[in-house]
Structure formats: structure tokens, C-alpha cells
Amino acid sequence: MFSQSLLPLLDSYRTVCLQCPLIERANVLNYLVQQFNLPLFSWNLAAQQIRPLKETEIDSNCKKVTPSTAIKTEQEFNTLKSVLLTWQQRQDSGILIIESGLSLIKDSALDILLTEVINACQEIDKFLIFLEMDEQTIPDRLISVIPSLSLPIPTVNDLEQLAQQLNLSTELLLPGLGLYGEEICQGVRLAQASNNTIDDTLLNYKIERFQALGLALNPTPSAIDVGGMDLLKKAVYQLQLDYSSKARSLGIPLPKGWLLAGPPGTGKSFVAKLIANRLQFALVTVGVDQVKAHGAVYLSNLLSRMEAAAPIVCYFDEFDKFFEAEG
């Protein structure tokens, strides 16, 4: 699920931040339970309790060992400070998963407490995992203290494994490229509930999910007749050659992209649609206003989705807004 660097990072830093969408929360928690032979606990502000996910650990003789110092799960922990202090005082090994906790670190006092807790974790096998599901970034002052990992979006190879679990052919799931695993499963359930074809339902669900993220997905841009514009047509033809199977077999570098400049109404969106049609790629239009409103993590997530959904044409409409002065 996460990269193989998770264990080395935890061993080195004693803490890590895991980024995932909300729909994958249960899968990530189950993955962490299976990954570690240590007692696991979780806390979030909604529950206000430190709940055990796995209260036993496995020793070298494969025997279950119950920790001698249990956390009072009935006790309320309504602040991140109380949770960190409790974990700092714990004298047994274990892993505490703090859900959506980075937004609660707002002052330097908690910064200091957090570093003290991490130092205390060095003495025994105690670890902190921040599980973030709301595009919350690590505060700049803590980047050197808390490393970060993002849940990767499934590749074609991952879809093959998922198809085996669902007893489906991989081809039926290919329209789901660019979606997380649980999103693909949700699309499959929608298809089965409505007795519709899986690939069509999954594609429509993907369009809806992209739209919810501020992305306009056109999977099959319609053909466009172009009169004149000989230089543009020549450049588009060169693009087709660059993406041909022969060019790919020869390892010719792919184009980096185009910057289309001109006043409104001069055909920039038209050109993006033309390129997508000629290359027979899907077209994804990104609203710059959405990116500016949500920030760097949002943009990183969008780019990850589009990279997973490749080949596509990604069109940033009104790109110049990135450089406008605020206010």
C-alpha cells in the first residue's frame, strides 16, 4: 500500500505523516494493523478517546504478549496535548495513530511537546503516525521532524491484483485509472447494483469524482475541422509522431508541453481539444482558481491522479492567474 520506506522512516524518525483520501481510511488502518507486530492505538478529535486497534504484540517465540501498561480507553482525551502527554508517559511499546491531528498543532508549545514525545519514543519501541485525510500539510517548522508519505494511486499492475480480488478482468477496470482502489471498488459496486456495464459505470463515476475535485474530464474529445493555421497543424502532427509506437520504441524524449498565449477568445481551449482529439487522449481541464484556493497539496494530488490516468492531455485554463498579485 505505502512504499517500502515506511518502516525505515519510522525506525529513524519514530514518527511519520501518512496522506490518504478519506475513502481509504479504513483500508489504511487495516494495513497498519497487519503491518506491525506491536499494540496499535488510534485517536481523533471526534471520538476523543484513545481506541485500541490491536492490543497485543507477538514476541520472538510467536506468543502473544499483553502490554503491562494499558491505556484507559474510557478516559476522554479532548485535546491533542492530553494525547501526547499520555503517550509520552507510556512505558510500553506501541504505535499511536493520530487522525487529522496536524491542523491542531497551532503554537510553538505543542511543537516543543511533540519533539519531547518523539525523543521519548527513541528509548523504547514507541511510534507516532499522523494520518491526514484533509489535504493538511506538515507545518514548515516541523518538516525536518516529521517525514511524509502519500498513498499512491493504483497503477495498471495494481489493477491486475485488484481485478483478481474482485474476480473481474483487468480490462473492465482500466477506465478507473486515476482513481484510488476503494473508489474503483465503489464504482464496481454501483455497476453491480444498477445492472450496468462495469467499464461504462466506472468511467462515469471517474468523471464525477474528477469533477468533485475541480477537474473537467472529457474521455473522448470530438473531432475538429481546422481551416488554415498551417503551423499549428504541423506542430500537432509532430506531436502524433512523438507519441507513436515507433518513437516510443526508439526512446525519443516526450514533449514537455505547450504554453498557449493570447487574449480571451483566440482559441487556446480549442487547441487543447484539438491536440487531445488528434492524439486520441482524454482531455482534463484544470481550473487555476481551484488550485489557488486549495494550495500545494491539492495540486500535488491532482497531478498524481492525472499521472496515474495517463496518457491524457492536461490543460490549465487561465494559467496566468498563478502569477497575479494577491489582493
Q: Say what the pLDDT of residue 106 is.
A: 79
What pTM was estimated for this model as a whole? 0.84
Q: Say what the pLDDT of residue 72 is.
A: 56
Q: Domains of the chain by range and CATH?
A: 6-150 (3.40.50), 153-212 (no CATH), 214-327 (3.40.50.300)
Grid coordinates in use for 127?
511510534
**Is the separation of the CB atoms in 13 and 146 below 8 Å?**
yes
Q: Rounded distance, CA 272 to CA 268, Å? A: 6
Tell me if residue 51 falls in helix, strand or coil. Answer: strand
* Partner residues linked to 19 by β-bridges: 132, 150
Alpha-carbon separation of residue 123 from 86, 120, 225 (angstroms): 16, 6, 70
What is the per-residue DSSP string for 307-323?
HHT-SEEEEEETGGGGG
Tell me if residue 194 falls in helix, strand or coil. Answer: helix
* pLDDT tens for each residue of 26-83: 999 999 998 888 889 999 988 888 888 865 444 434 334 444 344 555 567 788 999 9
**Is the separation of the CB atoms in 290 and 214 below 8 Å?**
yes
Q: Rounded distance, CA 191 to CA 184, Å? A: 11
* pLDDT tens for each residue of 206-229: 999 999 888 999 999 887 777 777
Q: Say what the pLDDT of residue 116 is.
A: 92
User: How many helices (DSSP H) and strands (DSSP E) are in the chain?
Assistant: 13, 11
Q: How far is CA 154 from the centre of its chain?
A: 10
User: ∠ CA(162), CA(166), CA(172), 5° rounding?
Assistant: 75
Residue with cell 491522479: 305
Counting as low any pLDDT under 50, the low residues of the chain are 56-70
Q: Say what the pLDDT of residue 60 is.
A: 39
- State residue 310 phi and psi, 5-degree precision: -60, 150
* Partner residues linked to 315 by β-bridges: 285
